[in-house]
Structure 1
Amino acid sequence: MNASTSGVELALDVPLNAVGSVAPPDSVKALVKEFTLALEAEMIEFRRDLHRHPEVSNEEFRTTQKVAERLEKAGLEPRLMPGATGLVCDIPGLDPGAPLLALRADLDALPVTDEKAVPYRSTVPGFCHACGHDVHTAGVLGAGLGLAQLSKTHGLPTPVRLVFQPAEEKIAGAQYMMRHGVLKDVGRILALHCDPKIDVGRVGLKTGPLTSACDLVKLTVKAGAGAGDGTMPPNVVHAVAALTVGVPTAVSQWMPMGSGVSIVWGHVEANTGTESTGALTPETGFMQCTIRCIDERAWTLVEDLFRQAVENIAALHGVTPDLEYTRGIPPVVNEATSIALFRRAAEEALGKDGATYTEQSLGGEDFAWFVREVPGAMARLGVRTPGAERTLDLHQGLFDVDERAIGVAMRLLSAAALLN
């Protein structure tokens, strides 16, 4: 297919006009094409503005205000969250009692230095949009502005709620918004996430688990009595080494067959204590790891198994463990009907090759909390320039996108809203 989004037409046959009759398909196609093409250049510049001014989790004040101002300019009534980071905005449909279709974007940037030599490089030292949330925001905003225009002139089959979420990187924003009623009256929720492994003009789809559950563990071990008093203390170094190797092995062996668990130690050290018989004797050890599970059943079991493995190995080596286990997020589990909607929207908006299969990843995404409450799905938005020699991965200072992906996101989400 031609990766240029300006050549992609939207083929939709079902939108209604403001009095409930079927609008001529060709006129609707032309209108959708017209508003997406008219808005695409603006949304690319909007994304660049966000890229120049990244804001990390729970500090997305400027970003929130920028989105709200653009929605208000279109005659909409955005509602800010109590902390002034994050907002929602409803677009009416022909049936005011119908469940809403929610389109979600995340707003926050990362504490990563922008290493790109581009005009829209981050102006905030140490921070940049290295996960594509600026693209998500521009895509949902552009789709929303176009759907709002269509709502006025022809009507929408169902009402739409735009959800701009803060603090995804802190895995806290989704639940925060849910506590403030973001899912009230929502029947389905959809989202996109940039994928630098997929060419621009295509989206990756998968029914079932798309991401993995993710937990964080901090473990301190202490030698206890005898350390540093001239007697032979428990060997903290040996204990730390045994825990590093033994805990993942034990958890893997105890898990049910077919359960996928990844335990990665990101920090391991033994702290120096007092000097004993001419040698420095470590009295404490500190370890930190992430635990990722590819299915929810494994996620429900892993904490107890991890704790048991730590207790067994620590007892064997005579050290006392102090374990801080933080439950993170479950996997994003895509509902089949929502994936079917995405697939049809991709075919209509992007062409017959617009959708491709994607694999489950070990990454975490707090969109998972939304789809535990209502049906929904996340699709992977291709952002790689076709033929590019190098793939720039997420969460890296050089990460960037082929900005034609913004127009693709607008068309795809608009199509999904009209086909829902």
Structure 2
Amino acid sequence: MSDLASSYTTVDPAAAAVAEIERLLPQLIAWRRDLHAHPEVAHREMRTTTFLRETLTAAGVEVTALPGTGLIADLGAADPTRRVALRADLDALPVPERSGLPFGSTVDGVCHACGHDVHTTVVLGVALALKTIEPTLIDRGLAIRCIFQPAEEVMPGGAHEVLDAGAMDNVDRALAVHCDPSIDVGTVGLTVGPITAACDQVEVTLTGPGGHTSRPHLSADLTFALGKVLTEVPAVLSRRLDPRSGVALVWGQVAAGNAANVIPATGRVVGTLRMLDADEWKRVDGLVAQVVQEVVAPYKVAAQVAHIRGVPPVVNDAAAIAALASAASATEGERSVVPTRQSLGGEDFSWLLQTTPGALARLGTRAPGGPTYELHQGDLVIDETAIGVGTRVLAVAALSEV
């Protein structure tokens, strides 16, 4: 424990935590850069998990491994009156880095294009800072559970592994931050209610006899039918679901054929189905497959539909948002809290909020006056000042329970 943190422990745990975070900040930035240089995709976050386990264990924090990758870190009261969970996601994306940063990805075709390296560093920083005031947490009956979750970027995601491990049992509130390159560093985007959308993955595979492009009437024009799936299925869904739900089926992968004069025997499209409304999301199960079959029926091809249920919307609890807003105002200034709108992005933190109230905050990462980057792109650059902001806000919000 630093002398500065020790001097605050008995009177002001929030001030002590913030002082410790300031002391740790150069190390946190260095750790984030190391994580950024060594990204790992979903379910393969072995190096990241080892780093977290060794760092937390060295600080005296109790850790429990999740199956495969990821871990849980617990500190504070063993039999608490309140337990707060803080979630970080570990995985990177299969996207080549184009940022030009000196600590850019050393792994071909993989990079932290969504800021999960920042999320991991922030929650690690909170755990280390709060460990220095653990006696105060114990005295006041507060437990902090830091969840380092694997596989947020795939469906189904690692949140299910967290739930299956019982990590959300007896948790009273769950908090998380997510990088937002559309708002300036030093600001935190907050809203009560839905902040993300429901998101599923849809894969359609068509098969037919194949043939010569001069004789489509003697085979089945699979490529034409695939084009109908691409255009007609999103259109039909927009008429079969409540338009207020903001339904959007957008294709990301298309594959069919390898010769200009050959009708292929198979074709495939893969995309995501997103919507703003949780109730409509529950009703859509089965509808996608039905619509695909109706669309391709005239073309004498067979359709196989895989509709992988992904995540419901993240719905922010009002009390959790109040705690985050108070923490941001106290540590970053009253103008740091900015409104944010619901997006069509999916986030499997939503599964952790199905039985536990909590909130997701958007962490501003844009350098003031700098360019606005897009998430999931290899050129993403994050202003590292955001690491201190996120760590302070999460730590103080968690301590609002004491």
Q: TM-score, normalized by length of structure 1?
A: 0.86
Which residue of 1 is the match for residue 116 of structure 2?
133
Residue by residue over 1:152-210, the C-alpha shift from the partner in whole angstroms, topping out at 9 and shown as x without a partner, is 36755621111111111124211112111111221111000101011111111122221
Question: In 2, Cα distance between the equivalents of 1:290 and 1:263?
Answer: 6
1:354 is displaced (CA, Å) by 1.6
2:49: which partner in 1?
64
CA deviation after TM superposition for structure 1 residue 251, in Å? 1.2
Q: Which residue of 2 aligns with 1:12?
A: none
Q: Between the two proteins, what is the percent identity of the paired residues?
A: 43
Specify the alignment match of 2:189 in structure 1: 204
Distance in 2, Cα, partners of 1:403 & 1:228: 55
Which of 407-416 and 68-77 deviates more?
68-77
Distance in 1 of aligned mates of 2:253 and 2:91: 26
The answer to whether residue 379 in structure 2 is matched with residue 395 in structure 1 is no
Mapping 1:83-102, distance limit 5 Å: 83=68, 85-93=69-77, 96-102=79-85
Asked if residue 186 in structure 1 is aligned to residue 168 in structure 2, the reply is: no
Q: What value does the CA root-mean-square deviation take over the aligned residues?
A: 2.6
Larger Rg: 1
Is the 2:9–2:16 Cα contact (8 Å) retained in structure 1? no
The amino acid that maps onto 2:110 is F
| 1:121 equivalent in alignment to 2:107 | no
Q: Which residue of 2 aligns with 1:418?
A: 399
Cα shift readout 1:265-302 (whole Å, capped 9, x = no counterpart): 233454379x9xxx644444433222111111221222
Deviates more, 1:153-162 or 1:53-62: 153-162
- Aligned partner of 2:152: which letter? E
Could you say what secondary structure the match of 1:353 adopts?
helix
Aligned pairs (5 A) from 1:174-253: 174-223=159-208, 232-253=218-239
SS at match of 1:339: helix
Deviation at 1:311, TM superposition (A): 2.0
C-alpha deviation, 1:257, in angstroms: 4.6
**TM superposition score normalised by structure 2:** 0.89
1:16–1:157 contact (8 Å) kept in structure 2: no
Give ranges in structure 2 of 5+ residues lacking alignment: 1-7
Residues 327-346 of structure 1 aligned to structure 2 (within 5 Å): 327-346=309-328
For residues 338-377 of structure 1, what are the structure 2 equivalents within 5 Å?
Answer: 338-377=320-359
User: 1:194, 1:294 → 2: CA distance?
Assistant: 20
- Alignment-derived partner of residue 389 in structure 2: 408
Tell me the distance in 2 between the aligned counterparts of 1:110 and 1:408.
24
Q: In structure 2, do the counterparts of structure 1 residues 234 and 111 end up closer, same or farther at CA, with 3 Å as the change threshold?
A: closer
Could you tell me how far apart the structure 1 residues matched to 2:59 and 2:268 are?
Answer: 54
Pick from 141, 144, 149 the counterpart of residue 132 of structure 2: 149
Query: In 1, are the aligned partners of 2:210 and 2:265 still within 8 Å (CA)?
Result: no
How many residues end up aligned between the 2 structures? 391
CA–CA distance in 2 between the matches of 1:330 and 1:29?
33
**Alpha-carbon distance between aligned partners in 1 of 2:324 and 2:197, rounded to the nearest angstrom:** 21
Please state whether the residue corresponding to 1:373 is helix, strand or coil.
coil
Shift of 1:121: 1.8
